[in-house]
């Protein structure tokens, strides 16, 4: 991808992809590797999922994924 180019990822689509792979927990590094994005971008995406109640921050770099139905993962 050319430098400076922005791509918008749908958080619900990312959650669906992770859940379809059987993921319950995901790390920032793992998401970055799966999507081919920086760890900074992956961290921001996971933080957005948490803000929207679709994931819960489990540790410094790990998130527990919700079901995708807008109910918080607990």
Does residue 15 lie within any of the structural domains? yes
Question: Which helix or strand (DSSP H or E) is residue 27 part of?
Answer: strand 25-27
What is the model's pTM? Answer: 0.79
**Any idea what the CATH number is for the domain that residue 60 is in?**
1.10.10.10
The predicted structure's pLDDT at residue 69: 57
C-alpha span between 66 and 19 (Å, rounded): 9
6 in a structural domain: no
- Give a yes or no: residue 54 inside a domain: yes
Q: Is the pLDDT of residue 71 over 50?
A: no
Angstrom distance (rounded) from CA 41 to CA 47:
10
- With a cut of 80, say whether residue 4 has pLDDT above it: no
pLDDT 10s digits, 41-58 = 999 999 999 999 999 999
62 in helix, strand or coil?
strand
User: In angstroms, what is the C-alpha Rg of the chain?
Assistant: 12
What are 5-47's pLDDT values in tens digits? 677 888 899 999 999 999 999 999 999 999 999 999 999 999 9
Domain range holding 18?
11-65
């Amino acid at each position: 991808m050319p430098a400076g180019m922005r791509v918008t990822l749908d958080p619900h689509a990312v959650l669906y992809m992770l859940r379809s792979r059987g993921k319950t927990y995901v790390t920032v590094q793992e998401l970055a590797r799966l999507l081919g994005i920086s760890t900074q971008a992956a961290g921001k995406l996971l933080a957005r999922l948490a803000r929207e109640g679709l994931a819960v921050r489990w540790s410094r770099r790990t998130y527990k994924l919700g079901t995708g139905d807008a109910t918080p993962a607990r």
